[in-house]
Structure 1
Amino acid sequence: MIRTVLGDIAPEELGVCDSHDHLFFRSELLPGQELDDVAAAEAELRAFGAAGGQALVQWTPAGLGRRRDALAELSRATGVAVVAATGLHQAAHYSPDRLGGLVDRLTEISVGDLTSGIRAGMIKVAGQFHHLDAHAERVMTAAAQAHHETGAPIGVHLELGTAPLEVLDLLCDKHGVPPNRVILGHLNRFPEQRVHRAAAEAGAFLAFDGPSRANHATDWRLFDVLTALVESGHGGQVLLGGDTTTAAARASTGGGPGIPYLLTTLRPRLSRELGEEAVTSMFVANPARAFSVPWRR
């Protein structure tokens, strides 16, 4: 089952999915750009639904203003299924006085978020640029423990798309998380096809998110790396997302392009390039498998 903020659903109920985005997000690194406006979030989600979107996975972890109560209200109001996250981001996103208490109890917090109240449906963790620091190793160890207790999938923020194989070494080889329960995010930001193929061959899901950001080498290289993965037989492991992290990036603020861009602009271009069957798999079948797990609790 897939665990949404309104309850568990069968994989075939998920539909067209934005596999990595944010309706609410507050970070010490982005002062003044908080995503905390419920009306703006609703406008964004309704626009996504009007473009054909049926589900959205919010990767905002614990301590960053994820607002699970509001997510449930928005999902109910718009008809778009929403999957929430637990876990922790990089240390720099938190105030130091709060971080220690979260890290020390992370397994307990994550299991609680995944199994009670308005439940999360995934665990979010993060690496650093080309390496895993002590914070990342500690957080990923706690995430692996929470996975083993619950079955939850683990989504990984790769800093500028780097160190995916190091993440798999830690989560899978050292801590026994099955590779198909790991989602590697931001791979579009480091368009090294050999690394992508190695991660795919290991069995992980590969998330390409944050389209329209030219400074992250996204759209103009995205087609090349996705074509390579499809041609090498790994199209069934690709996920796509918008990763809207600031108020200025929302379509509803007039800045944009926001969450709807994923379906209004990127999807038609990808369909022309890769074919509708491959792209439908990336938006429907693949997320249905990536976020569906045999929950243990």
Structure 2
Amino acid sequence: MVTTVRTVLGDIPATELGATDAHDHLFLRSPLLPGQELDDPVRAGESLREFLRLGGRSVVQWTPHGMGREPAALAALARGTGAHLVAATGLHRAAHYRPEPLSRIVGTAAELFVSELTEGIGDTGVRAGLIKVAGGFHGLDAHARQTMRAAASAHHRTGAPIAVHLELGTGAMDVLGLLCRELDVPPQSVVLGHLGRCPDSVVHHEAAEAGAFLAFDGPSRANHATDWRLPELLLSLADAGYSDRLLLGGDTTTPDTPGMSHLLGPLRSRLELTLGESLLEQIFSGNPARAFALAPHRKG
């Protein structure tokens, strides 16, 4: 069966993704990051072209609704560079929004997500290909539960994968318990983000055994156990038979984040010493083609 990924310029065969940054942001705005907005199309284009120069092909954007996604600019960048870009719908943690507009959105979030996946974001006609939600610290707060229920409903109606921000890398099994066991989302349609921020191998293996994709997506962050623990974490999972579950991303959140260029530059060179080229090819190209493909879905 030929599977497809929904990019900002339309659906493409999943096999065309090529080397993929599985979690990043070309545009991002949050009240938690005042003065550190990613809102410069010229700079975004420079970052994207450098990623392509290093051998990249596709970038999956995890910027959700209300956080400065700039869908028209993403489409222009995709046309201008030839990169495949995937945009997100969804909602982040409540702290990333002003209370009043968030309260109006949450109650009808499932309809919003479906609309942005099938009709387009605003009046741009650019469709999202991913649903982004977020857990709480070591568990799920009320906002997380409400938005994940909306995400599950939208997944069942569209087949779109669900990407989950794990706060400081925690709460993975709580997320899978809600989405997969309670709400019947197939685990292979769930991408768990930020696992490297909490380098707990036991939890990583449990999540991989459950069938979810595991995104290690915060390289270059000296304040997290990311780069220096990453080779051993990935190798442990690969040796246990979970090499087909692994993803890597840059997660550029502020202008000073090395992000995409670090991912395919220094980080890839370092990982080759431990993992080898074949496994890295699977992580960068083979696995994203399955993780971000639209799944068969229920109607209505």
Q: Shorter chain as normaliser: what TM range?
A: over 0.9
Instruction: Using structure 2 for the length normalisation, give the TM-score.
Output: 0.95
What does the per-residue CA deviation read over 1:191-212, in whole Å, with 9 as the maximum and x for residues that have no partner?
Answer: 0101000000000000000101
Q: How does 1:1-297 map to 2 (within 5 A)?
A: 1-116=4-119, 117-249=125-257, 257-294=258-295, 296=297
Contact 1:141/1:175 (8 A) holds in 2: yes
Q: Structure 1: which amino acid aligns with 2:280?
A: V
What does the per-residue CA deviation read over 1:237-295, in whole Å, with 9 as the maximum and x for residues that have no partner?
Answer: 0000000001222xxxxxxx232110011112111211111110000000000001235
Q: Structure 2: which amino acid aligns with 1:225?
A: L
1:92 & 1:98 partners in 2: Cα distance? 12
Displacement after TM superposition at 1:214 (Å): 1.5
Displacement after TM superposition at 1:180 (Å): 0.3
1:258 & 1:238 partners in 2: Cα distance? 18
Displacement after TM superposition at 1:123 (Å): 0.2
1:191 & 1:159 partners in 2: Cα distance? 13
Q: Structure 2: which amino acid aligns with 1:263?
A: L
1:162 & 1:206 partners in 2: Cα distance? 13
Contact 1:127/1:156 (8 A) holds in 2: yes
What does the per-residue CA deviation read over 1:90-138, in whole Å, with 9 as the maximum and x for residues that have no partner?
Answer: 0000011211122122111100110112111110000111010000000
1:30 & 1:70 partners in 2: Cα distance? 21
State the aligned residue count: 290
Contact 1:4/1:82 (8 A) holds in 2: yes
2:296 & 2:91 partners in 1: Cα distance? 21
Secondary structure of the residue that 1:216 maps to in structure 2? coil
Contact 2:220/2:259 (8 A) holds in 1: no
2:96 & 2:295 partners in 1: Cα distance? 31
Contact 2:189/2:295 (8 A) holds in 1: no
Q: Structure 2: which amino acid aligns with 1:65?
A: G
1:259 & 1:266 partners in 2: Cα distance? 10
1:215 & 1:258 partners in 2: Cα distance? 15
Secondary structure of the residue that 1:206 maps to in structure 2? strand
Secondary structure of the residue that 1:244 maps to in structure 2? coil
1:258 & 1:195 partners in 2: Cα distance? 25
Unaligned runs of 5+ in 2: 120-124
Displacement after TM superposition at 1:224 (Å): 1.1
2:209 & 2:132 partners in 1: Cα distance? 22
Aligned position for 2:122? none
1:248 & 1:213 partners in 2: Cα distance? 11
Alignment RMSD (CA, Å)? 0.9
1:118 & 1:187 partners in 2: Cα distance? 30
Contact 1:152/1:295 (8 A) holds in 2: no
Aligned position for 1:252? none
1:77 & 1:158 partners in 2: Cα distance? 33
Unaligned runs of 5+ in 1: 250-256
